[in-house]
Amino acid sequence: MSSTFTTPTDAIRVFCGFPSPQLNREAFFTQLGQTFMPGTPYMLQPLGLAAYLPGVIADPPAGVPNEFALICYPSQQVWDFTMHKTLRGRIYNQSHMGVYAFPASAASFPRHIDDVPATAVDPLFLFPDCIDWQSGTTHSIVGKRGSSCTSGADFRATIRTPLLQKRNALRALGIDQVVVLARDDFAIVWIHSKMPNLGTGVDFLKEALATPVQLQHERVLCPDDPPTVTLAASRAFNFIFVREARFFLR
């Protein structure tokens, strides 16, 4: 029996968040930076959280979420047990109601790109590999649908088709996972790489988006309780914390 902190990508909750109408941007970002972001690993690390990579867009275009995140688990079964059968998980789940607008804000598990119909809005991932999201480098690209796209389905195709065509080329660049959340009006793309810089290898993704924002996830070390973060501009983070090895036995 061995332990590995790599996780299947279909066990990641892909989240986009719009602020509660009761919170202005400053209040929303204060809640996120001082409580909600550090509170996620604080609450969920003892229950098997594998990685947490949130980010914010300071002044998004209309229809584009202010926040986005990957919340990684060892398996869907661990997520289900955590959220529905533990007090910590239920409290964490309920805490979303005071921060986010629903149903615009939502989270779901992604599916492999080969299993997702071309017209679907489900989040998807490119490679079947399990990876450790706390290692390597993650970039996020966020943007509104480009003006050349006439529909949501057309927009998603401008992202999906090049990904399929360039899958081997992306792998050769050291990219070992791509996760995409593409709705009718916006897309968020997370790119995990063994290399610190993406170069021009993913420029085709930016061509599908109007005024895209690309962010590199900053490492936030958590030797003890997770620290607060300051959100005065667009930023993305990768909270680095000790994992509970018992959840990762293979």
> How does residue 206 score in pLDDT terms, banded at 50, 70 and 90?
confident
> How does residue 167 score in pLDDT terms, banded at 50, 70 and 90?
very high
pLDDT at residue 78, rounded to an integer: 96
pLDDT over threshold 50, residue 245? yes
| Lowest-pLDDT choice from 22-36, 65-79, 85-99, 199-213 | 199-213
pLDDT at residue 202, rounded to an integer: 86
* Residue range 187-213: mean pLDDT, rounded: 88
pLDDT at residue 146, rounded to an integer: 84
pLDDT over threshold 80, residue 2? no
Considering only CA atoms, which of 76, 125, 72, 107 is closest in space to residue 240? 72
* Residue range 61-67: mean pLDDT, rounded: 94
* Residue range 64-81: mean pLDDT, rounded: 97
**CA dihedral sign of residues 141, 143, 149, 150:** positive
pLDDT at residue 1, rounded to an integer: 45
pLDDT over threshold 80, residue 182? yes
pLDDT over threshold 90, residue 196? no
The model's pTM is 0.95
pLDDT at residue 201, rounded to an integer: 79
Rounded distance between C-alpha atoms, residue 82 and residue 149, angstroms: 40
What ranges do the domains of the chain cover?
9-248
The mean of the pLDDT values for the chain is 93
For residue 235, list its beta bridge partners.
56
Percent of the chain at pLDDT above 70?
Answer: 99
> How does residue 200 score in pLDDT terms, banded at 50, 70 and 90?
confident
How many Cβ atoms sit within 10 Å of the Cβ of residue 219? 13
For residue 68, list its beta bridge partners.
16, 55
| The domain made up of 9-248 is a member of CATH 2.130.10.10 | no
